[in-house]
Amino acid sequence: MHKIAPYHHLTKGVGSMDKANADFTPIFDGQTLAGWHAVPRLPVSRAPGGPEPDRTTETYRRAAQTTGSWTVEDGALTGRQDPPGCGYGGYLLSDGVYGDFELLFEACPDWPADTGILVRASALGSQGYQILLDHRRSGNIGGIYGNGIGGFHGINFTIDAEYDEQGRPIGLRLEDPATTIEPMTPDKTALLNDAASGEQFLSIWRWNEWNEFQIRVEGALPKITVHINGVKMTEIDTAAMKHPSYRQDEVLALLGPQGHIAFEVHDNDPGMGDARWGPNAACRWRNIRIREL
């Protein structure tokens, strides 16, 4: 896990969102969790109508006992596993629900921290369209994943960390396809109407600093567009998208035309363990604002 620099240092030169888009409304006050509530990160069916998880298992029981740790630190919404290193996550949901909107925020994740931002999320948190912030080996940032709505995975590259001689992560690189645990198959990129290359992403991503996200969601089965630091990363049209496990009518019946915004702290599965979420890792969000369309 890397450590971010002091908050006052990170604010330098990253206030462009404060100077523009004055018609956006803050939905995080920078001091409290007012307007937000936490829920457990519980297993759900991969798609509406699919097999339900076994709620009698020890894994399910333990997942239900934590919602993650959500605090406000130096003006930033901060998510961790609770207790640290327990291997179980949670979601922080907006109290309000939103239909068509643009969302602005800045994020600064530790390495490794497998997180994301769900839009049109259900009250469970774990059903919705997830904008990926998988800041870990074989992860993607800016792609779209169908949480509990078909498991589709719209990505165009995967990442890993660069390490110094002492084994400390010092930046991002594109992952070696020969060693990835998330093979980049053509069907994943085919889900996207538009996608930046991995090289384009690396050219704008700020390691160990704040990165600006702009997410636009529009339509009952939404068209979702993601910009990071002013560069368009992905665009997907879920009304026209074809995927064997994504059934538009069933997803719309499940989620409806409005939903929560949810931030995620991931759990640690047996396959990746601490490589998915470090024992003391956190992700941070700030300047969270919305403009309804």
CB atoms within 10 A of CB 186: 6
Q: Residue 13 pLDDT > 70, yes or no?
A: no
Q: In terms of C-beta distances under 8 Å and separation of at least 24 residues, what long-range contacts does 82-86 make, across chains too?
A: 84/279, 84/280, 85/274, 85/279, 85/280
Q: What are phi and psi of 199, to 5 degrees?
A: -65, -40
Reported as a pLDDT band with limits 50, 70 and 90, residue 7 is: very low
In this predicted structure, the answer to whether residue 21 has a pLDDT above a threshold of 90 is no
Where residue 4 falls among pLDDT bands split at 50, 70, 90?
Answer: very low
- DSSP letter at 55 equals T
The model's pLDDT over 187-233, given as tens digits with 9 standing for 90+, comes to 999 999 999 999 999 999 999 999 999 999 999 999 999 999 999 99
What are the φ/ψ torsions at residue 61 (nearest 5 degrees)?
-60, -45
The count of other CB atoms within 10 Å of the CB of residue 285 is: 22
Q: Kind and range of the H or E element at 8?
A: helix 7-10
Please identify which residue in the block is written with the tokens 């992403």: 201
Calculated CA dihedral for residues 101, 106, 111, 112, nearest 10 degrees: -20
In whole angstroms, what is the distance from residue 20 CA to residue 145 CA?
29
pLDDT of residue 6 exceeding 80, the answer is: no
Closest by CA to 89, choosing from 111, 119, 109, 59, is 59
Contacts of 260 (CB under 8 A, 6+ apart): 93, 94, 96, 97, 98, 118, 120, 121, 122, 123, 125, 128
Q: pTM of the predicted model, to two decimals?
A: 0.93
93 burial (CB, 10 Å; 0-12 / 13-18 / 19+) is: buried
What pLDDT does residue 114 have?
98
The stretches of 71-196 forming alpha helices (DSSP H) are 186-190
Cα separation, 277 vs 291, in Å, equals 31
179 φ, ψ (degrees, to nearest 5): -115, 5
Interval 109-137: pLDDT, tens: 999 999 999 999 999 999 999 999 999 99
Record the tokens describing residue 95, joined without a space.
Answer: 């109290």
User: How much is the mean pLDDT over the chain?
Assistant: 93
How many C-beta neighbours within 10 Å does residue 57 have? 11
User: Which of 156, 176, 136 has the alpha carbon at shortest distance from 277?
Assistant: 136
- The predicted-structure confidence for 45-57, as pLDDT tens digits, reads as follows 999 999 999 999 9
